[in-house]
Amino acid sequence: MKALSRKLLQKTCLALTIAAICTTASAADSLPQDILEARQEAQIWTTFALSPYLRASDITVSVDAGVATLTGVVEEEVNRDLARQIAAGVDGIDTVHNEIVVQADYSPAERGSDERTYAEFVEDAGISTAVRSKLFWSKFTDSQNIEVDTVAGVVTLKGTTDTEISKELAGKLALNTPGVLSVENQVITDETGPTLGDDLANLGQETGAQISDSWITAKVKSTFIYSRNVNSGGISVTTTDGVVALSGKLSSGAERALAIELAQNVRGVKEVDASKLEI
C-alpha cells in the first residue's frame, strides 16, 4: 500500500484512531484490506506524533498485508528502536521493516511561527481544558465569562470578571497549570455587571441543593493534579459537610501553603483542615 503523506495523516489520524479503539478485533477482520491498512498506518503515526521522543522526527509509515515499513531519520538509535516497538505493538502488524536512518546531527525542518504539529494541538487543547476546569471549580472566578485559548503553551485569558482579585486569581490558576509557559491575562474588570456572588447564589437556587462532599473531594484532587507545584500523589483528601481534610507529606512549606490555598478556592469548601498535612 502506498505510504500516506504526513499532512493527510494529520487530517485523518484522529478519526481513524478513534475508530480503531471502538471497533472490536472480529469486526476489524471483516474490514476491506486497504481500510484496515490505512487505520493501522494512522494508529502508528499518531503514536509517533504524540511521543515526545519521536514527534520531531521525519518518519513515514506504510503498511501492506501486515508488514509495516518505517522510513525516515531520527537522532538516536534508541528512538529508532522505539519506533519499531510502537509499530510492532499495533494489532494486525506481524512484521516491521525498520529502515529508519540514525543521524546524530539531525534537526527537523523549521516550521512557520504559527504552524503547530498535531501533538502541539493536542497539548494546547489539554492545557486549555485543564485551565477551564480549574476556573469552573474555583468559587472566586466566573468561568462562564472567561475564554481560554492556548498556543504553544502560552495561555490567553479574555472576558470579564467583577473584581481585580478574581482576575488575578484566574491568571494564577492558569500559570500554575502543567505545560503553561506564560499567561496573557486580558480579562477586563466590570463592576457594573452581576458579581460572582450573585452568579453563585443563582446557581444555588437553580440546583436547589448544596454541593456534595464527593464532588468537592473530586475537584480538590483534580485541582492538585492540574497544578504543577503540588505533588498530588502525596496528598489524601476527604470532605465532610464541606470541610476538607488534607493529609500526607509534602516537600516544603511553600508546597503545603499552595495545597491549602488551592483547596480553599474550590466551590463548596467551607473550611480546610491541614493539621495532618506534614512537610
- State the pLDDT at residue 110: 63
Strand runs labelled E in the chain: 58-64, 67-74, 95-102, 146-151, 154-161, 182-189, 235-240, 243-249, 271-278
Question: Which domains does the chain carry?
Answer: 6-102 (3.30.1340.30), 118-197 (3.30.1340.30), 210-278 (3.30.1340)
- State the pLDDT at residue 191: 67
- State the pLDDT at residue 18: 46
The answer to whether residue 23 scores a pLDDT higher than 90 is no
Q: What is the pTM of this model?
A: 0.65
- State the pLDDT at residue 29: 54
Are the CB atoms for 132 and 156 separated by under 8 Å?
A: no
pLDDT digits (tens, 9 = 90+) for 188-199: 987 665 444 444
Which position has the higher pLDDT, 254 or 55?
Answer: 254
The answer to whether residue 53 scores a pLDDT higher than 90 is no
Mean pLDDT, the chain, whole residue set = 82
- State the pLDDT at residue 63: 94
- State the pLDDT at residue 120: 82
- State the pLDDT at residue 207: 39
- State the pLDDT at residue 220: 95
pLDDT digits (tens, 9 = 90+) for 237-246: 999 999 999 9
Lowest mean pLDDT among 56-70, 81-95, 102-116, 155-169: 102-116
Lowest mean pLDDT among 8-17, 51-60, 100-109: 8-17
- State the pLDDT at residue 192: 64
Are the CB atoms for 147 and 157 separated by under 8 Å?
A: yes
Are the CB atoms for 41 and 63 separated by under 8 Å?
A: yes
Element (H, E) at 255: helix 253-265
Cα–Cα nearest to 163, from 134, 185, 195, 136:
195
268 confidence band (pLDDT: 50, 70, 90)? very high
pLDDT digits (tens, 9 = 90+) for 209-224: 468 999 999 999 999 9
Q: What is the percentage of the chain residues whose pLDDT exceeds 90?
A: 57
pLDDT digits (tens, 9 = 90+) for 71-113: 999 988 999 999 999 999 999 999 999 999 998 887 766 655 5
267 confidence band (pLDDT: 50, 70, 90)? very high
- State the pLDDT at residue 204: 43
Question: How far apart are the C-alpha atoms of 120 and 133, rounded to whole Å?
Answer: 20
Are the CB atoms for 38 and 46 separated by under 8 Å?
A: no
Distance of CA 150 to the CA centre of its chain: 11
26 burial type by CB count under 10 A (0-12 exposed, 13-18 middle, 19+ buried): exposed
Average pLDDT of the residues in 145-154: 92
- State the pLDDT at residue 133: 94
